[in-house]
């Protein structure tokens, strides 16, 4: 009987602990949300565990640019950190302290297919030996994507600051060749390539494929040159030479 009571006490303590932790967590994030609302007035909170994705995407019931906090389908709250960027279908934010993860949420005009494609392309990129940000979760019905955060400067930032190093051009040429061999139409927006100092290569952070109509001939090469080198003609030329070298 005594043993029974002790077990019951332990169980009670354990559940109290869980409750305290979760309410502390929620309270902290909701407090941040309330503060953000006070400051901005027009900012929003998105609850993926309450809303069905098809009900609120594409009908402008929310604008992903105004979201300051989210609750994922797993029930976890996140205050959104730095906005990493946005494109046609999504907006990407840092989540967790130190930006450990990147969360991509749909914006108006979103097509579920774009998120499905990103998830499907992950293994294709891996098979081709192209390093891309690992997708860790896509939520039920592809409501959002959680990717590993890749620290570093994007090719776009490197271009704005000046020129690529020879090593960087070599890495781009290697990625180009791998993509060509495996017939993968990478989206060569320079903001999609992050230079990792750690592994000394560019890591693709957007798995979406674009430009299939270009095929894999000269037109595609030209596209890469235009997108990734802008006005640095000599560097674009170097890139083309490296590709011809095989």
Strands (E), 157-214: 193-196, 201-204
Binding stretches for ligand ADP (CB under 6 A)? 84-90, 92, 102, 104, 133, 147, 149-150, 154, 191-192, 194, 205-206, 208
92 binds, among Mg ion, ligand ADP, none (CB under 5 to 8 A by kind): ligand ADP
We find the least distance from the C-beta atom of residue 119 to Mg ion, in angstroms, to be 15
Q: How far apart are the two ends of the chain, measured CA to CA in Å?
A: 78
Enclosing H/E stretch for 225: helix 218-229
Look at residues 178, 197, 191, 199 and name the one whose alpha carbon lies nearest to residue 125. Answer: 178
Q: Do 175 and 130 touch, CB atoms closer than 8 A?
A: yes
Structure tokens at 183: 């017939």
Q: Do 130 and 204 touch, CB atoms closer than 8 A?
A: yes
The strand pairing partners of 132, in sequence order, are 204
104 binds, among Mg ion, ligand ADP, none (CB under 5 to 8 A by kind): ligand ADP
Q: Which of 114, 192, 201, 235 binds Mg ion (CB under 5 A)?
A: 192
We find the least distance from the C-beta atom of residue 157 to ligand ADP, in angstroms, to be 9
Q: Which of residues 202-231 bind Mg ion (CB under 5 A)?
A: 206
Point out which span in 13-21, 36-44, 72-80, 200-208 binds Mg ion (CB under 5 A).
200-208
We find the least distance from the C-beta atom of residue 178 to ligand ADP, in angstroms, to be 19
């Amino acid at each position: 009987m005594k043993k029974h009571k002790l077990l019951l006490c332990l169980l009670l303590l354990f559940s109290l602990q869980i409750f305290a932790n979760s309410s502390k967590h929620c309270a902290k994030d909701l407090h941040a949300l309330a503060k953000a609302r006070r400051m901005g007035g027009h900012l929003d909170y998105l609850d993926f565990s309450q809303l069905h994705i098809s009900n609120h995407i594409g009908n402008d019931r929310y604008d992903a640019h105004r979201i300051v906090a989210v609750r994922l389908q797993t029930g976890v709250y996140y205050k959104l950190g730095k906005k990493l960027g946005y494109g046609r279908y999504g907006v990407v934010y840092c989540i967790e302290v130190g930006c450990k993860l990147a969360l991509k949420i749909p914006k108006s005009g979103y097509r579920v297919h774009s998120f499905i494609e990103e998830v499907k392309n992950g293994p294709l990129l891996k098979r081709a030996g192209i390093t891309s940000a690992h997708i860790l979760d896509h939520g039920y019905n592809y409501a959002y994507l959680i990717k590993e955060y890749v620290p570093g400067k994007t090719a776009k930032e490197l271009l704005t600051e000046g020129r690529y190093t020879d090593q960087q051009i070599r890495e781009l040429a290697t990625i180009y060749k791998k993509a060509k061999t495996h017939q993968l139409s990478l989206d060569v927006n320079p903001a999609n390539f992050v230079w990792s100092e750690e592994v000394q290569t560019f890591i693709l952070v957007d798995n979406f494929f674009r430009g299939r109509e270009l095929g894999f001939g000269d037109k595609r090469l030209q596209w890469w040159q235009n997108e990734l080198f802008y006005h640095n003609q000599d560097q674009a030329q170097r890139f083309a030479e490296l590709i011809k070298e095989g």
